[in-house]
Amino acid sequence: MTAQTTIRKPNEKPAKNPEGKNQATGSKDIVLSVKNVSKSFRLPTEQATGLKQLLINWTRGIKGYREQSVLKNISFDVERGDFLGIVGRNGSGKSTLLKLISGIYTPDTGSISYKGKLVPFIELGVGFNPELTGRENVFLNGAMLGFSHNEIEDMYDDIVAFAELEDFMDQKLKNYSSGMQVRLAFSLAIKAQGDILVLDEVLAVGDEAFQTKCNNFFSEIKKDPSKTVILVTHSMDSVKKYCNKAILIRDGKIVVNGDKNDAANIYTEDNLRSLQKDAKDSSKNKYPTGLNEKVPYMKCVPTSKMVLNSTDSFEFDIEYEYKPSNPVYIAFSMLDTRRGGIPYDSGSILLGNNGKERQKVHFSLPLTLFNNGSYQIVASLRKADPDNPVETLREGFTSDENSCTFSISEEANGTDYALLKYAALDMHKNGTTDIKRY
């Protein structure tokens, strides 16, 4: 990934230097400090609540609940101008942490302190009421975020224009489509700029146009050194694109604190590992999808790391069992799960007449050509087609749970929306000529 900076796509964004955002000033200006924060919840063990249950629990001498520890001794600092990503699998405690930062929950131990105005968006459009008109909802939601009637009056036109809802503001919210509601909520949110913005999964909603608006908003706020953003997300793309720091939480503990690439990679690996684990669990069934009595077992098993650089090769075994005694072929495809399409297919490879026991074939896939992305290897066992000597017929294949996945993730060099790297092809520019119109 070197020396491709001369050829740039026309719509490419200017070079970013997220890591350098703070270093310019040199001094550390901490706006949010989380120190040794722990949090646990009481989960009731009895179904009923209320006076009766309290009395019953009291007479039986039981507590009626158990402690569930959600966050354990979390500490981190956020500096002014930071764009912090918080990642972690479902149930790892991200949202609890966000609610603690927003002051909705109070920590059991430890402390959280911040400077300036903190605006939380645990959800867009908090307090929206379907029975009120769009206009009334703007004022109500604005009040929730701490803006007076006059202040909202001043930004009202901007909000409506950004949401593109000029004609609907006197309609009740219940007559809005869900997309319209989200647009209104989001445009309110981005006008309500505090010093620290706390966002939870906001990017996960809305259509493409809305996503683009989010995108622009984040790119803009990222450049502003006075604004600090804390973003909880499952999208590693957003983490890599916007954040300059990231925190990975696993089971209520901070695993990675600081480096966004580490956080994103370990998160991806966590997820892939859990997919493999799921696959292992479900392979106990007699014949999962793609398998049958001729091919009772077939599975792709990675033998190298699953998050790689493009200089690495992805190493994997295809394990299989083939009952008939005719010659057997194997083929695998490499699927691009993010951009779609099949970048590579191995074609049928003759394995010959194998024994009926379990076999494995090892493959090594060089990744030099490819940009960052998530890929899946799907393999199939085939036999010769009696009607057509150049074709093969599929006997069995690996379903999603028996396929293996890997991803290429390295320091982004330019964009990675194309599958192939710049250097994959030898591009030639043959001079520039004027086109004359006659």
Partner 1 sequence: MLSSHNRVLPSLLTLAIAPVIQYNYMYQLHAISPPEPTNTADWVYLAVVKQLWQKLAQRYRYSWILLKELVKTDFKLRYEGSWLGIAWSVLKPLMLFVVMYMVFVRFLRVSDGTPTWPIVLLCGISLWNFFSEATTMGMTAIVSRGDLLRKINFPKYITVVAATVGSLISLAINMCVVIIFGFFSYAHYTWRIILLPLNFAELYILALGVALILSTLFVWFRDMQHLWEVIMQAAFYATPIIYPLVMVQGMDKSHPGVGTTISKIMLLSPPAQAIMDIRHNLLSPENVPTVWNTIHTWYIQIIPVALTIIIFVFGVYIFQRNSKKFAEVL
Which residues lie near partner 1 (CB under 8 A)? 41, 49-52, 54, 99, 102-106, 112-114, 118, 120, 122-123, 126-127, 129, 131-132, 136, 139-140, 142-144, 146-149
Tell me whether residue 16 or residue 172 sits nearer to partner 1 (CB atom). Answer: 172
Tell me whether residue 99 or residue 294 sits nearer to partner 1 (CB atom). Answer: 99
Structure tokens at 182: 């989200």
CB of 104 to partner 1, least distance (A): 5
CB of 172 to partner 1, least distance (A): 10
CA 28, chain centre distance (Å): 29
CB of 402 to partner 1, least distance (A): 41
Tell me whether residue 131 or residue 166 sits nearer to partner 1 (CB atom). Answer: 131
Other C-beta atoms closer than 10 Å to the C-beta of 181 total 20
Instruction: Give 256's strand partners.
Output: 248
Instruction: Give, for 404, the enclosing helix (H) or strand (E).
Output: strand 404-408
CB of 113 to partner 1, least distance (A): 7
Half-sphere exposure of 368 (CA within 13 A, CB side): 6
Tell me whether residue 126 or residue 180 sits nearer to partner 1 (CB atom). Answer: 126
Tell me whether residue 41 or residue 287 sits nearer to partner 1 (CB atom). Answer: 41
Give the whole-angstrom CA distance, residue 356 versus residue 231: 53
Give the whole-angstrom CA distance, residue 74 versus residue 58: 34
Tell me whether residue 130 or residue 366 sits nearer to partner 1 (CB atom). Answer: 130
E strands, 190-327, where? 196-200, 228-232, 245-250, 253-258, 297-302, 307-308, 313-321
Residue of 406, 405, 404 whose CA lies nearest to 300:
404
Residue of 123, 246, 131, 236 whose CA lies nearest to 185:
123
Q: Report the amino acid identity of residue 362.
A: H
CB burial readout 7-19, b (16+ within 10 A) else e: eeeeeeeeeeebe
CB of 98 to partner 1, least distance (A): 11
CA 139, chain centre distance (Å): 33
CB of 57 to partner 1, least distance (A): 13
Tell me whether residue 140 or residue 393 sits nearer to partner 1 (CB atom). Answer: 140
Interhelix angle 178-191/149-163, nearest 10 degrees: 130
CB of 112 to partner 1, least distance (A): 7
Interhelix angle 134-144/149-163, nearest 10 degrees: 120
Q: Where are the alpha helices (DSSP H) in 283-381?
A: none
Instruction: Give 299's strand partners.
Output: 319
Taking CA atoms, 383 is separated from 344, 352, 365, in Å, by: 21, 10, 24
Tell me whether residue 129 or residue 271 sits nearer to partner 1 (CB atom). Answer: 129
Query: Quick one: DSSP state of residue 201?
Result: S
Tell me whether residue 127 or residue 179 sits nearer to partner 1 (CB atom). Answer: 127
Tell me whether residue 37 or residue 330 sits nearer to partner 1 (CB atom). Answer: 37
Other C-beta atoms closer than 10 Å to the C-beta of 146 total 11
CB of 142 to partner 1, least distance (A): 8
Q: Report the amino acid identity of residue 288.
A: P
Give the whole-angstrom CA distance, residue 377 versus residue 336: 9
CB of 141 to partner 1, least distance (A): 9
Residue of 432, 5, 60, 18 whose CA lies nearest to 261:
18
CB of 54 to partner 1, least distance (A): 7
Residues in the chain: 438
Tell me whether residue 145 or residue 264 sits nearer to partner 1 (CB atom). Answer: 145
CB of 120 to partner 1, least distance (A): 6
